[in-house]
Chains A and B, each alone.
Chain A
Amino acid sequence: MQYKIEKNDISTLIDILASVYDLFGPVKTDGLTKLARIKSASNLDLESFNTDESAKDIFFPQYETIFNFKDGEIKNEFDKNRPIAIFGIRPCDAKSFLILNKAFNNGGVNDSYWNQRYTDAMIFAIGCNRPSQTCFCNWVNQGPFNKEGTDIFLIDLGDDFMVESCSSKGDDFLKNVSKITLQNPNPGDLDKVNQIKREAEILMSEKLDLAPLKSILDTQLLDSPLWNEISAKCLSCACCTYLCPTCHCFDIQDEKKPGTNQGSRVRMWDSCMFSLFTQEASGHNPRPTIASRMRQRIMHKFNYFVENFGEIACVGCGRCVRTCPVNLDIRGIIKRIKNEG
Chain B
Amino acid sequence: MDNIEKELRTVIAKLFEEKKIDLVIGYTKGTLPLVSTPIFLKEEKDVDKLIFDVSCGNNLVKYLKRHRIVNMKDTKVAIIAKGCDGRAIVQYIAEGQIKRDDVLIIGVPCEGVVDPKKIRSKTNGKEVSQYRIEDKKIILKGNDFEISLNKSDVLSDFCLRCRYPNAPLYDIFITEPTKSVGTKDEYEKVNEFEKLTSSQRWQYFENEMSKCLRCYACRNACPMCYCEDCFVDQSNPQWFGKGTDLSDTIIFHIVRVIHTAGRCVDCGACARACPVNIELDLLNTKAGKEIQERFGYTPGLDPDETPAMAAYDAEDKQEFIL
**A-side interface residues toward B, CB under 8 Å?**
30-33, 47-49, 52-53, 62-63, 130, 132-134, 203, 232-233, 235-239, 241-243, 251, 253, 255, 266, 268-271, 274-276, 279, 281, 321-323, 325-329, 331-332
Contact pick for B235, options A236, A239, A276, CB 8 Å: A276
Given known contacts A253-B242, A268-B243, A133 and B215 CB-to-CB distance under 8 angstroms: no
Closest chain A residue to B242, Cβ basis = A268
B40 touches A233 (CB 8 A): yes
Indicate whether B117 reaches chain A with its CB closer than 8 angstroms. Answer: yes
Query: In whole angstroms, how far apart are the Cα atoms of A80 and B236 in the complex?
Result: 36
Specify which of B33, B236, B275 is in contact with A52 (CB 8 Å cutoff): B275
| Stretch of B121-129, B161-169, B198-206, B307-315 lying at the A interface | B121-129
A-B contact pairs, 18 of them (CB 8 A): A30-B211, A48-B125, A52-B276, A53-B213, A62-B214, A63-B245, A130-B143, A133-B127, A233-B39, A235-B273, A241-B215, A242-B215, A268-B243, A276-B233, A281-B236, A325-B217, A325-B220, A325-B272
A237 to chain B, nearest CB (A): 4
* B227-244 interface with A by 8 A CB criterion: 233, 235-236, 238, 241-244
Which A residues touch B285, using CB under 8 A?
A: none
Give 10 new A-B contacts, CB below 8 A, not counting A31-B277, A62-B244.
A30-B276, A63-B243, A63-B244, A242-B214, A253-B243, A268-B243, A274-B216, A325-B272, A329-B31, A332-B31
Contacting residues, chain B, for A132 (C-beta < 8 A) = 127
Does A279 lie within 8 Å of B235, measured CB to CB? yes
Chain B nearest CB from A325 CB (Å) reads 4
Q: Is the interface of B mostly helix, strand, loop or mixed?
A: loop
Tell me the complex Cα distance, A294–B121, Å: 33
B36 close to A (CB within 8 Å): yes
Which A residues touch B269, using CB under 8 A? 325
Q: Are B37 and A326 in contact (CB under 8 A)?
A: yes
User: Given A47-B125, A132-B127, A233-B40, is A253 in contact with B241 using a C-beta cutoff of 8 Å?
Assistant: yes
> Closest chain A residue to B38 by CB distance?
A233
B14 at the interface (CB under 8 A from A): no
